[in-house]
Amino acid sequence: MRIIAGDHRGLALTPVGKGDPAAHLRPTADRTRESLFNVLTGGRHGDPVTDARVLDLFAGTGALALEALSRGAAHATLVDDGRTAARLIAANIALMRAADRTRLMRCDATRLPGNDGPPATLVFLDPPYGRGLGAPALTAALANGWIAPDATVVWEETAPQTPPAGLTLTDQRRWGDTWVGFLTA
């Protein structure tokens, strides 16, 4: 697993092998991450990455948020309640020397506290597949001031998902067994 593009292109992130099934870690493959960012920056969605405030729900290794930082995002908040995930995220933040542009929150993404800072303009959502956690996490993020109006939301799952109230599906792609929905707040 590595950073695909931007200032930290080629940086190898902390290895996780095949992930950690017990911790529900399933890192987004480099190829899928590259395709996802190509769609995001390919014109149809404008440029939601440059200067973005990123919220990465179920962050796992932090690869999505860190990729966005490498490509010009201003700040990233990474949320995951797993011990293994928190260790990997912290290690990857250190590898990128991005501590001054990140915030790691160890909490349940479906029970986010109220936001005390600027809302996110770009949101990544990669919940454990098939457990129905995506919509509750987005609902909590919207209700607690984490998502800015007109924010872009990228939702990975094993099947197409119906967005909760307050979000509109604008595009959908499938890469292997991963469905990615692009939504707008």
For tokens 């999505």, the residue is: 64
Q: What is the pLDDT of residue 53?
A: 98
Give residue 51's region: left, alpha or beta (phi > 0; psi -120 to 50): left
pLDDT digits (tens, 9 = 90+) for 27-83: 666 677 788 888 888 766 678 999 999 999 999 999 999 999 999 999 999 999 988
CA dist 134 and 184 (Å) reads 15
pLDDT band at 8 (very low <50, low <70, confident <90, very high): confident
pTM of this structure: 0.91
Q: Which residue segments constitute the domains of the chain, with CATH numbers given?
A: 21-184 (3.40.50.150)
pLDDT digits (tens, 9 = 90+) for 74-128: 999 999 998 889 999 999 999 999 999 999 999 999 999 999 999 999 999 999 8
Give the CA distances from residue 43 to residues 38, 54, 113, 142, 150, in Å, rounded to whole numbers and listed in that order: 9, 19, 34, 26, 16
pLDDT band at 24 (very low <50, low <70, confident <90, very high): low
How many alpha carbons lie under 13 Å from residue 153 in its C-beta half-sphere?
Answer: 30
Judged on CB neighbours under 10 Å (0-12, 13-18, 19+), 115 is middle
